[in-house]
Structures are given as C-alpha cells and as structure tokens.
Amino acid sequence: MSELLVQLRDRLPAEVVVTDPDVMLTYTRDRAEFCEAGLPAAVVLPRTVAQVQEAVRAAYGLRVPIVTQGARTGLSGGANASDGCMVLSLVKMDRILEIDTVDRIAVVEAGVVNADLTRAVNKLGLHYPPDPSSWEECTIGGNIATGAGGLCCVKYGVTAEYVLGLDIVLADGRLMRTGRRTAKGVAGYDLTRLFVGSEGSLGIVVRATLGLRPLPPQQLVLAAEFGSTDAACDAVCRIMERGHTPALLELMDRVTISAINRVAAMELPKTTAALLLVASDGQDPASDLAAYGLLCTEAGAVAVTRADDAAESEMLLQARRLAHAGLTSMGSLLVDDVAVPRSRLADLITGVAAIADENRLVVGVSAHAGDGNTHPVVVFDASDPDESRRAQDAFAAIMSLGLELGGTITGEHGVGILKKEWLAREITDLGIEMQRKVRHAFDPHGILNPGKLF
C-alpha cells in the first residue's frame, strides 16, 4: 500500500477514500477529446471542509499531485487525472448553506448543482443568472473554476460577476477566505476574482458566497429564420446597436438545427441557414419582441415567430440546450469555444464554414451571439486516424481565426489541456511568465492540477 493511501485512511473515514481501479477509472477525465488522462492513486470524496484539508495535507506532505473535480462536464480536459495523482471530487459537498433575501446572497458548497441552486432561490423570489448549457449537471465549484457563462450572459453577465467571496483550501491545507458578503468592498487585492477561472491551479474552492438578483418576469422568446448566417449576424448587430438588452440572443446554424431535429421532435425549420433566438424578460416583453422582430426583418429574416407564452418559449430554449446532444448523435465531437467582437461574428462563422470544407468535415456552429461567443463543434469519426487528424487541424484553424479577428481562445470553457498551446499565443510569453509567478506564489511545489493551463 502506498504511503498516500496509508495517510488517507488514517486521516479520513473509510467511505471517503476510493481505491477500486474500476471505480477510479470513471474519475479519470471530463468530456474533452484529444486530452490525455491517467489513473489516480486514489479518489477522495469528502463531505466536509475539514476532510478536504486532511486529504490535501496528506498529498502536500508527499508532493502528490491533486486534481480537483466537480461533475466533469468540462470540455477542455481541465479536470483530467494524471497517473498517480489524488483526485479530489467535491460532488458530495452539495449543501446550500444559506439564502439571504435581504442581502441577496447565497452561501453554497462547491458541489451544489447549478440548477438546484437556481430552483432554490427562485422559490424565494430571487435569481442566480449564470446558466451553462449543462446547468442540470454542472456544479458551482466547476463553474467558478472555469469562469462559466451560459445563455443569459448578454444581459446578466458570467459567473465571475456573481462570486462575492470564497473559502479556499490552499496547497498546504490551510483555509483561506476571500471577498465579502457586502454589496461593496475594495479592501486589498481582489483575490476572489483571481480564483475564478483558475481551473484548480491556485487552490481548492470549497465554499462560495454568491450574489443574487430579483427574479425577473417570465421571459418570452422570438425565433427568426434567415437565409444566411451573415443576415442573422447582421440582425444581432442591429439589436445591440439600437441599445437593446435582450435576456438572451442565441444563434444556431443549419448543421446544428438538423442535429437537434435528429434527437428531438422539435420540428425546427430544416431549410433555413440560421435560426436566431431572442428573448425578453422585461416589464413589456411583447413590445420588446416586436422591436426585435422588426430589426430581424430589416436584416433579412425570412420568417419571425413570437412565442405566445412561457411554455412555447421554454420549448425554443430547450432546442438550444439540445444542440450538444444532437451533434453527439452524429459522431465524436471536438468543441471549440472562440469568442470574437460581435462586429466580427459573421466573419468567424463564414471562416468556420471554409475551414470545414477545407478539412472535409462537418462543423456545426451555435453561439451566444449577443456576446460573440461561438461554439464551433467539429464532428468526426474517432476510429478513423486521418479524420481525427483533420478534426484537430480544423480545431486549430478555428482558434487561429478567432485570434486574427481580435478574439479569444475561450469564452467560458477554460484552457485545461486542450488549449495550453493557444493560451501562450494569446497572452504572449510575458503574460505566461507573470501567470506562472502568480501560480508559484500559491503553489510553490506545483501539485495543484499540474499540466493544465501552461
């Protein structure tokens, strides 16, 4: 028995430590393709902060790498295990500790599922806006680790804007608290924001204080069909240029629409080149949708349909959330996450189509269009070495195009393993040097999620 297992069993209840190889195999990776993963020496499933600290102290003393995981819904390999590491899965730390309706905050453990928090605060007339497409599965800790976004970011912003304070177990097992519970606070460096998007490389988030908003009115959704993606992107620009703030602004191309129809009886329009979903949750959503519809028509929409009620609206949103599942039904996926300025959205999508043709592959594009955050999804046959190579070539070409258009390699999925090379290209050598110094300050022995980011 390894010294790590001896110490873990001395420090922790037996049911917290998993060593069965078959079980550990299920904790080796997230959902990203082309990212290496190894078999951990142990998987720890703590239920308390104290148990996290004990596990970390054991690993720290032996200099064993620690890979922290949530629901493993990530798409960049950021939660992948390495051979001999200790996986620290926080999914059993799933308590909502407090909801304060006066201060409009929630205090939650890292393993709380996003949708569970949303439903809990909704019952009290409050709202937690960040809603990744995997919201029924993904955890708040994972959302914080990757800086997750979602469908409603165009109006309400991303995870980072709602994280007020954190409880973090550092690499040596000490517990650090950052941030505040107050509406305002600027004391010292903003360490809270530093940890958002750090992908488990600076410390282990075990608890979060999150800002909430009043529950908005029920949103209504408009669907606009376009004969070209250029026209749909023009509509996006017109809506934003006129000063509107829709609750969401989502785009799906022809490939994605077809994929959704494969897995659900949605009867989405099969002949259209692009479908734009625009929602309002304002005081007069009907008036908002009328304005959005007019702008879509001016941009060249061939049909505009407004949902009459919440049920029809939810059906349209469910279609958008099924995009990933639909494309999965077509083969293996390599999911990109390039964000560009809204004004360059059409250029990105046109370029992706050319890259797909050049590499003889199917690439579906869905986008949080209001943010310019696109998800080009390369579909390929993983059993075909040549097609797998072309998929990686297409993925790289899309990221390169995003940078050329003044964008970024990731809007919400994180860097992980998949995009390490591309982070260096985006932030340059000096940026990498400074980030390494920050990482070293928190983790001088390099045991927290090594091999990720850079």
86 near 4, Cβ under 8 Å?
A: yes
18 near 43, Cβ under 8 Å?
A: yes
Q: Distance (Å, rounded) from C-alpha 50 to C-alpha 48?
A: 5
Q: Distance (Å, rounded) from C-alpha 177 to C-alpha 82?
A: 28
Residue keyed to tokens 């050049």: 358
333 near 258, Cβ under 8 Å?
A: no
Same fold, 217-325 and 331-413+421-438: yes
- Is 266 a residue whose pLDDT tops 90? no
Average pLDDT, the chain: 96
Could you tell me the pLDDT band of residue 72, with boundaries at 50, 70 and 90?
Answer: very high
What is the domain partition of the chain in residue ranges?
Answer: 3-89, 96-214, 217-325, 331-413+421-438
- Is 95 a residue whose pLDDT tops 90? yes
- Is 243 a residue whose pLDDT tops 70? yes
Quote the pLDDT of residue 215: 96
Quote the pLDDT of residue 268: 85
Could you tell me the pLDDT band of residue 270, with boundaries at 50, 70 and 90?
Answer: confident
- Is 315 a residue whose pLDDT tops 90? no
CATH 3.40.190.10 fits 96-214, yes or no: no
Report the CATH fold assignment for 331-413+421-438.
Alpha-Beta Plaits (3.30.70)
Q: Mean pLDDT across the stretch 252-265?
A: 93
Q: Mean pLDDT across the stretch 365-370?
A: 96
- Is 21 a residue whose pLDDT tops 90? yes
Q: What share of the chain has pLDDT > 90, as a percent?
A: 94
Q: Distance (Å, rounded) from C-alpha 80 to C-alpha 35?
A: 8
Closest residue by Cα to residue 39 from 91, 8, 85, 2: 85
Q: Which CATH number fits domain 217-325: 3.30.70.2190, 3.40.50.300, 2.60.40.10, 2.60.40.60?
A: 3.30.70.2190
Q: What share of the chain has pLDDT > 70, as a percent?
A: 100
Q: In what order do the strands lie in the sheet with 373-380?
A: 301-306, 220-226, 274-280, 248-253, 362-368, 373-380, 332-335
Could you tell me the pLDDT band of residue 316, with boundaries at 50, 70 and 90?
Answer: confident
Q: Which CATH number fits domain 3-89: 3.40.50.2300, 3.30.43.10, 3.30.70.260, 3.30.429.10?
A: 3.30.43.10
Between strands 86-89 and 66-69, the pairing is parallel
pLDDT, tens digit, 9 for 90 and up, residues 36-58: 999 999 999 999 999 999 999 99
Could you tell me the pLDDT band of residue 1, with boundaries at 50, 70 and 90?
Answer: low
Question: What residues have CB less than 8 Å from 452, skipping those under 6 apart?
Answer: 77, 78, 199, 200, 201, 415, 416, 417, 420
